[in-house]
Chain A
Amino acid sequence: MSISIQSIHKTFGSYKALDDISLEVPNGSLTALLGPSGSGKTTLLRIVAGLEFADSGSGKILFHGENVVNVPAGKRQVGFVFQNYALFRHMTVAQNIAFGLTVLPRNLKPTAKAIRERVQELLHLVRLDGLDLRRPDELSGGQRQRVALARALAIRPKVLLLDEPFGALDAQVRKDLRRWLRVFHDEIGLTTLFVTHDQEEALELADQVVVMRNARIEQVGPPQQIYDKPRTPFVYEFLGNVNKLANPNGPAQYVRPHEIEVKFAAEFDPSLDRLAVVQHLFSAGPVAALSVRLDDGQFLEVEITRKQLDELALSEGDSVALGLPPTDRE
């Protein structure tokens, strides 16, 4: 089901949390709300869920064309996974997952047998077979997260919302779960909106990235486009490693470390290149990182492959010529 957010405003007292937000989340997409803390991304997610209300008189939220602004959270058919999972500590994994089915009104409630079957099906779906009788405090972080996901899916939601889904996990589990979630999403094809402050996560996982800052949307687009054609300096800087080159005759130029070509000083072409001196060399990793000083004294981070590094046979103190990408980009 598609989600359409139309000019939503939200203020807390005098603080503006969302300022005229409009956004289309296509049916079946995996969309990331990316931004630093305080950018409004979580507030937006909570408004879509119905846990928070937009300012009265402000816009609409349409689920498949239907305005849900006045529909209570429990009736929106939205699956929500909380940052800290918010599992019911006093219930088993199975009881947690079944909760949404057991609270249905009597005429809609499945039989006990049907609920048991659905729980087993969901446990299998999230790869937690056999853990039905455990308590949340006996599970690892990654397992808890998948219980929370299964619990949210039990009610057969039309939309899935995840708040910082990997925020509370350690690095390795985070990576694994990220891949798993991507595959999982492709399998079940549920329209999913998730909040993250980690640009790597957003770029790797989402088909559509929404970059937010100070209560507004800075840019929306597929990850590749966001990364390659950032529309604002903020997006440039927020999406990771970037060099900011001051330009006395115009706006600053942004260059990513891997976009810089490194050549022998002898190949220096004054019309295109800049001269620089290698200050530091870091070659312990798949790519070599150079820290270089330009002729005007500015420092740049440059990334080249290990192979290139060997061909150039660079060491600290060497002079090099740098080919910078043209400045006429957006």
Chain B
Amino acid sequence: MHQRRVIPGFGLSLGFTLIYLSVLILIPLAALFLKAAGLGWQEWWNLLVSARVLAAAKLTFGASAAAAALSSVLGTIVTWVLVRYRFPGRRLMDAMIDLPFALPTAVAGITLTTIYAPNGWVGAYLAQFGIKAAYSPLGVFIALTFVGFPFVVRTLQPVLEDFTKDTEEAAAMLGAGRWVTVRRVVLPMMLPALITGFTLAFARAIGEYGSVIFISGNLPMKTEILPLLIVSQLEQFNVPAAAVIASAMLIVSFMLLFSINLLQRWLDWRHR
């Protein structure tokens, strides 16, 4: 620690980082696990394999992954348009991407519900084809796509802006068609950022509550998500059960995010 450093403030900033991590992340999480530990292993296990929790977990992680995947595809296209083309209204469109960040999620939820409900603008149309959007797992998926999408765009944007048109032109000069250029040059170069965007959208979707509870209908075993299950446990003053579900959710999320991280490292390493 007695090494001299050119950049000042190492002690101060490290101290701040540790305090921040402790106060805002580690201590609350520790408290959560402590609460959950109040129950024995057997109770943990019984709670977690109960049909209702399993169904909610399947919906939460499944819909989140699917929504993050769709966000990645749509986000790629939208980013492409925003970065590569100049058209009137581009800046406005660019600013609109961030709306799901700023909008209170409840507002988003209510709005989406109104539109996708069987008598809503889009919902009525979908209903003609026998598709039920609101109050179904599909509704959960729609809401999660809505909140995850900006993460993908904002992660990809700087990367796409960074690699210049030259690279694509070089591919074209070498005889590659449009599709080959996208598949062999553009997508591989974007992949690391795309995975990051996917991860962020995925993480956000797992924890999402506000926008989902309105559109999902919250039918146990059918359209109930884990965060809602936790809240309903709390409302019944079953705090330990809520803590157990939350802890398990945290552990699973952490493992998922960590493995995506490893995958990304591996991709990166393979490219060195």
Q: Which residues of A contact B (CB under 8 A)?
A: 49-51, 73-75, 78-80, 82-84, 86-90, 99-100, 103-104, 135, 151-152, 154-155
Which listed segment binds A: B23-31, B124-132, B184-192, B230-238?
B184-192
CB nearest to B169 among chain A residues: A51
CB nearest to A157 among chain B residues: B173
Q: B40 at the A/B interface (Cβ < 8 Å)?
A: no
A86 touches B167 (CB 8 A): yes
Q: Which residues of B contact A74 (CB under 8 A)?
A: 172-177
Q: A90-B188, A103-B180 are in contact. Are A82 and B170 (CB under 8 A)?
A: yes
Contact partner, B175, options A51, A90, A103, Cβ 8 Å? A103
Q: Which residues of A contact B189 (CB under 8 A)?
A: 88-90
Q: Which residues of A contact B184 (CB under 8 A)?
A: 99, 103
Q: Give Cα A152–Cα B170 distance, bound, in whole angstroms.
A: 9
11 residue pairs of the A-B complex, CB under 8 angstroms, read A49-B173, A74-B176, A80-B169, A80-B170, A86-B167, A86-B170, A88-B171, A89-B189, A103-B171, A103-B174, A103-B184
A282 smallest CB distance to B (angstroms): 39
> Binding site of A, secondary structure by majority: helix, strand, loop or mixed?
loop
- Most A C-beta atoms less than 10 A away, residue of B164, B166, B176, B180: B166
B175 touches A155 (CB 8 A): yes
Total A-B contacts with CB atoms under 8 angstroms apart = 67
Q: B86 at the A/B interface (Cβ < 8 Å)?
A: no
Q: Interface code B133-170, partner A: CB below 8 Å = 1, 0 otherwise?
A: 00000000000000000000000000000011011011
Given contacts A49-B173, A90-B189, 11 further A-B contacts (CB under 8 A): A79-B173, A80-B173, A82-B169, A86-B164, A88-B171, A99-B176, A100-B175, A103-B175, A152-B174, A154-B174, A155-B174
> Binding site of B, secondary structure by majority: helix, strand, loop or mixed?
helix
Q: A84-B164, A90-B188 are in contact. Are A99 and B174 (CB under 8 A)?
A: yes
Q: Which residues of A contact B167 (CB under 8 A)?
A: 86-88
A86 touches B177 (CB 8 A): no
A165 smallest CB distance to B (angstroms): 14
Q: Give Cα A51–Cα B164 distance, bound, in whole angstroms.
A: 14
Which residues B172-206 have CB closer than 8 A to chain A?
Answer: 172-177, 180, 184-185, 188-189
B187 smallest CB distance to A (angstroms): 10
Q: Which residues of B contact A78 (CB under 8 A)?
A: 173
B172 touches A86 (CB 8 A): no
B175 touches A86 (CB 8 A): no
Q: Give Cα A135–Cα B189 distance, bound, in whole angstroms.
A: 13
A52 smallest CB distance to B (angstroms): 10
Q: Give Cα A151–Cα B166 distance, bound, in whole angstroms.
A: 14
B271 touches A135 (CB 8 A): yes
A103 smallest CB distance to B (angstroms): 4
B263 smallest CB distance to A (angstroms): 16
Q: Give Cα A51–Cα B170 distance, bound, in whole angstroms.
A: 10
Q: Which residues of B contact A154 (CB under 8 A)?
A: 174
A86 touches B169 (CB 8 A): yes
B146 smallest CB distance to A (angstroms): 32
CB nearest to A148 among chain B residues: B170
Q: A88-B189, A90-B188 are in contact. Are A82 and B166 (CB under 8 A)?
A: yes
Q: B272 at the A/B interface (Cβ < 8 Å)?
A: yes
In the complex, the 8 A-B pairs of residues with the closest C-beta atoms, listed nearest first:
A86-B166, A100-B174, A86-B170, A74-B175, A103-B176, A80-B173, A90-B188, A82-B166
Q: Give Cα A168–Cα B228 distance, bound, in whole angstroms.
A: 57
Q: Which residues of A contact B185 (CB under 8 A)?
A: 88
Q: Interface code B259-272, partner A: CB below 8 Å = 1, 0 otherwise?
A: 00000000000011
Q: Which residues of A contact B176 (CB under 8 A)?
A: 74, 99-100, 103
Q: Which residues of B contact A75 (CB under 8 A)?
A: 175
CB nearest to B267 among chain A residues: A90
Q: A84-B166, A86-B167 are in contact. Are A73 and B172 (CB under 8 A)?
A: yes
Q: Which residues of B contact A82 (CB under 8 A)?
A: 166, 169-170
Q: Which residues of B contact A83 (CB under 8 A)?
A: 166
CB nearest to B173 among chain A residues: A80
B194 smallest CB distance to A (angstroms): 13
Q: Give Cα A104–Cα B184 distance, bound, in whole angstroms.
A: 13
A164 smallest CB distance to B (angstroms): 12
Q: Which residues of A contact B175 (CB under 8 A)?
A: 74-75, 100, 103-104, 155
Contact partner, B174, options A84, A135, A151, Cβ 8 Å? A151
Q: Which residues of A contact B271 (CB under 8 A)?
A: 90, 135
B14 smallest CB distance to A (angstroms): 30
Q: Give Cα A135–Cα B188 distance, bound, in whole angstroms.
A: 14
